Chain A
């Protein structure tokens, strides 16, 4: 579990002035949940994510990861093992010449027994569907495959929490799909807690919970259905709603009222069929 209590953070500018990037953020991310964090550029969402594994430390307030205070240096290593991070550009995170060495890198550094390393590498590559690429060169993989290897490399530390900062921004639609499906499966089958920072509304729509940041504060927090129905508010925050939700609000303007909480094609079709039935069409 991740908990922030009155979390504030300020970067120091060149002239010594401090501007708060995070302002009194109070959040609880429960173990085993799948949370998406949205917000325009500069809203503080990446800064928030970097507090989840002690890359950044609070200027004010507290962050606890599995009950451990991130500000206590004695906890740093345990926190980083519990909560692993995956970044936007897969090429910046690959260090090894073969996929399996990449995944073995962290457990090796942690002094894990060779036999156990082997077991973990095999298990984690399987978990992300990359077993058949164990001996491949990371540079020969597609973007989606590289990100899945990066995820496996975090899992190999026995991390329970995955924090991902726009992991699909540089991928094509197929690669994006692969990464999101992998995260959903890890969450469902292994109970991995997922905190996904993204600019893609359709990805956030697949999470259990959506947190919207603006100017360093949490401005919306709830199930995707409830957050995305606020189409006007999202627009004022420089964001969007998923296409289907936008359609529901455009239809309302044209006198066709359907449930504004629809997100998927299937849900929308069901609503339209219901509406057609009501009107005897």
Chain B
């Protein structure tokens, strides 16, 4: 479990540029969660997730990873860090090795694992992100944009973290690349029921399609959180803080305004098609 207690973070303490990036953030993210974090630029999303890997430390308050406090040092801090794998924005910019294999192996090697264990982890991680054997001996720089990103994610998975955190994992990808990454996230969630998966996204459609829960950040605070359904049924509140509901939710709202009786949990294309077909006496689920 990842837990924050009154987490505050201030950039530039004691300088004229002092800025409160996070204010009294209290979150509990249970094992097995598949959660999206949304919020516009500057809302504190990135600052928040950097705490989960102890890249930055709270100005006040606490962050606990499976009970290990990131304010601690020594073994406890190491335990907290090991538990969390962080995939940065545009992680493919960090690929550097001669082969995909060596790049994925970099993390496990630094953990001091033996060659046999490293080999099995590399192959497993590559498999999880859909990169077959033939990719392993290729240079990461010969891959397509989407493949590079998957290789970078495999490098983090090979460290077998208990929580995987991805900062805008689909930014800049084409629709196929975007769908590939989202399917990998879903598959990881289904196959690793204890793993926490957290991802930051600007695409409400991606969130609606993939996540189970949503945390909405605004001005350094948690504006609200809940299941995808409850969060996206607050279209008005989302709009107030510069976000939008998925387009299907907006359509459902407009239809209700025009007198159609629709349930209020519509946010994906399939969900909307089913509900609308039901009104028209059509087939419903296909």
Q: Is the CB of A254 within 8 A of B282?
A: yes
Contact among A88, A239, A266 with B176 in the assembled complex (CB-CB below 8 Å): A239
A146 to chain B, nearest CB (A): 11
Q: Count how many chain A residues have C-beta atoms less than 8 Å from C-beta atoms of the other chain.
A: 42
The interface centre, meaning the residue of B260, B269, B284 with most chain A CB atoms within 10 A of its CB, is B269
Q: Is the CB of A142 within 8 A of B41?
A: yes
B residues 204-252 in Cβ contact with A at 8 Å:
204-205, 242-244, 246-248, 250-251
Contact among A88, A238, A279 with B175 in the assembled complex (CB-CB below 8 Å): A238
Q: Is the CB of A254 within 8 A of B172?
A: no
A255 to chain B, nearest CB (A): 4
Q: Is the CB of B280 within 8 A of A240?
A: no
Does B263 touch A at the CB level, under 8 Å?
Answer: no
Does A190 touch B at the CB level, under 8 Å?
Answer: no
Q: Is the CB of A238 within 8 A of B174?
A: yes
A residues 242-281 in Cβ contact with B at 8 Å:
242-244, 246-247, 250-251, 253-256, 265-266, 268-269, 272-273, 275-276, 279, 281
Does B255 touch A at the CB level, under 8 Å?
Answer: yes
A residues 161-199 in Cβ contact with B at 8 Å:
166, 169-175, 199
Which residues from chain A contact B40 at a C-beta distance below 8 Å?
Answer: 172-174
B residues 248-273 in Cβ contact with A at 8 Å:
248, 250-251, 254-255, 258, 260, 269-270, 272-273
Proximity bits, A18-61, B CB within 8 Å = 1, else 0: 00000000000000000000011110000000000000000000
B203 to chain A, nearest CB (A): 8
The interface centre, meaning the residue of B175, B177, B250, B255 with most chain A CB atoms within 10 A of its CB, is B175
Q: Is the CB of A243 within 8 A of B202?
A: no
Does A143 touch B at the CB level, under 8 Å?
Answer: yes
| Docked pose: A243 CA to B175 CA in angstroms | 12
| Docked pose: A211 CA to B269 CA in angstroms | 25
Question: A174-B40, A250-B269 are contacts. A201–B171 as well, Cβ < 8 Å?
Answer: no
Which residues from chain B contact A171 at a C-beta distance below 8 Å?
Answer: 41, 202
Q: Is the CB of A173 within 8 A of B286?
A: no
Q: Is the CB of A244 within 8 A of B273?
A: no
| Docked pose: A147 CA to B141 CA in angstroms | 28
Q: Is the CB of A244 within 8 A of B251?
A: yes
Q: Is the CB of A269 within 8 A of B172?
A: no
Q: Is the CB of B248 within 8 A of A239?
A: no
Which residues from chain B contact A242 at a C-beta distance below 8 Å?
Answer: 247
Q: Is the CB of A269 within 8 A of B41?
A: no
Which residues from chain A contact B171 at a C-beta distance below 8 Å?
Answer: 169-170
Contact among B41, B42, B145, B280 with A41 in the assembled complex (CB-CB below 8 Å): B145
Q: Is the CB of B41 within 8 A of A247?
A: no
Q: Is the CB of A268 within 8 A of B251?
A: yes
Question: A173-B242, A201-B175, A272-B276 are contacts. A265–B42 as well, Cβ < 8 Å?
Answer: no
Does B130 touch A at the CB level, under 8 Å?
Answer: no
Extra contacts, 7 of them, besides A201-B175, A247-B272 (Cβ < 8 A), are A40-B175, A169-B171, A173-B242, A242-B247, A246-B269, A255-B280, A265-B250
Chain A: residues with CB nearer than 8 A to chain B?
39-42, 88, 142-143, 166, 169-175, 199, 201-202, 238-240, 242-244, 246-247, 250-251, 253-256, 265-266, 268-269, 272-273, 275-276, 279, 281
- What are 22 A-B pairs at a CB distance below 8 A? A41-B145, A88-B172, A142-B42, A172-B40, A173-B244, A174-B41, A199-B173, A238-B175, A239-B176, A243-B246, A244-B247, A247-B269, A247-B276, A253-B273, A253-B286, A254-B286, A255-B277, A255-B280, A265-B250, A265-B254, A272-B255, A275-B280
